[in-house]
Copies of this chain bind each other. A is one copy, B any other.
């Protein structure tokens, strides 16, 4: 009405003109708005592609873990390790779809700040047909699920390495299932699900603590409860048990490094060019510095350039940078990685001194360097980061995960048993648990 009165101020020819003009302008504006949606849609498509690529990279980490773990252990336990890793990713995705995703990201269904559950199964919030933009328009609901699902199973995979060559297969399968479905997801909700640690200002970009330390605590508890492998710590001192295939270890580490581009790069949760590519740089340079750190220290310490240590140095650098890859500078990233590479060598040696047997160095890489990386955010992070808050986060995750893992392993121990018999361990799990050999054509020494 007001508009009509306003128009009456003009003569008839002018009125016609104004209407004509308005028509043009409205058409133009309509195009602009239609256009606006399209340009936003293009960014949405691109972001979503990025997150899907990141998903593939995290998926391939499972092959990386399988290769690394198999290569660092003896050929008589290879089938067992490959079986565990195939099981973990499959079980992990299914339980994550069944309830894990909704435990980790409870959204409106939080009960306080420590727990929440958005219900069983997965479906887009608007029902089966409504595929929607998600996370500030960045990617689809399904992309969110599958990206996070690939993350979930890694925690259990970390445990797998530390308990290798002596744990009963079925016992591990039960542990891994409960650990992935409940422990990882509930702990994750405290930060990534918007829970109490998130509100306190704790920062863990891609999971130095939420993924790696959580897995690492499970690994530590498992390795302690199981005890060392037969023949590792003898009266005449520690006897190294070398891994059976260094090429397999190298393939594993390179695939993990590759996967970390998705693990960290995808944790930006968008394809925004600046932040994502910056994260790729900090991630790569930390890994590189980790390799050099480990090479230098181990060369001094053992008087030989040690390939396993060089490779563990890459993983140490990667775990170390994971908590702060987006908030530390390039030089800081190099320092964090280099220190992680040094730490991992001392840590591996130290755990052997206190006779905690970890066949693949998982506790040193994932737990120790995960803690280092999380605290490093409080030291090197550019922005409002508190060392104390980071420490609280580390301790909270440590306490919760260690208690859960302890309870779980003890429960399994008294019900199913945890460790294979001495005879089975000597013969190897491949023959005794699976009735198969990994390399039947080869003469094994």
Contacts and interface: CB of A to CB of B under 8 A. Distances in A.
Interface of A: 9-11, 13-14, 16-18, 20-22, 24-25, 27-29, 31-33, 35-36, 38-50, 52-53, 55-57, 59-60, 62-63, 66-67, 70, 74-76, 78-79, 82-83, 85-87, 89-94, 97, 121-123, 128, 131-133, 139-143, 145-146, 149, 169, 242-248, 250-251, 253-255, 257-258, 261, 265, 271-278, 280-281, 284-285, 287-292, 295, 302, 304-308, 310-311, 314, 329-331, 334, 382, 433-445
Given A42-B46, A131-B274, A304-B434, 16 more contacts: A10-B13, A43-B45, A49-B53, A52-B277, A56-B258, A63-B254, A67-B251, A82-B307, A83-B310, A90-B291, A133-B273, A139-B277, A146-B284, A247-B248, A306-B434, A442-B442
B441 A445 contact: yes
Contacts of A29: 24, 27-28, 31
A132 B275 CA distance: 10
Nearest to A51: B277
A316 to B, nearest CB: 12
Contact of A57 (B25, B56, B257): B56
A284 B93 contact: yes
Contacts of A331: 121
A442 B444 CA distance: 5
13 contacts: A10-B13, A45-B271, A45-B273, A67-B247, A82-B250, A82-B307, A86-B307, A140-B278, A246-B438, A247-B248, A247-B438, A307-B434, A442-B442
Copies per complex of this chain: 3
Contact of A90 (B52, B57, B287): B287
Nearest to A82: B250
A60 B91 CA distance: 25
The DSSP consensus for interface residues of chain A is helix
B82 A246 contact: yes
Contact of A28 (B28, B43, B257, B310): B28
The 4 A-B pairs at the shortest CB distance, nearest first, are namely A131-B274, A42-B42, A142-B277, A90-B291
A62 B311 CA distance: 14
A288 B90 contact: yes
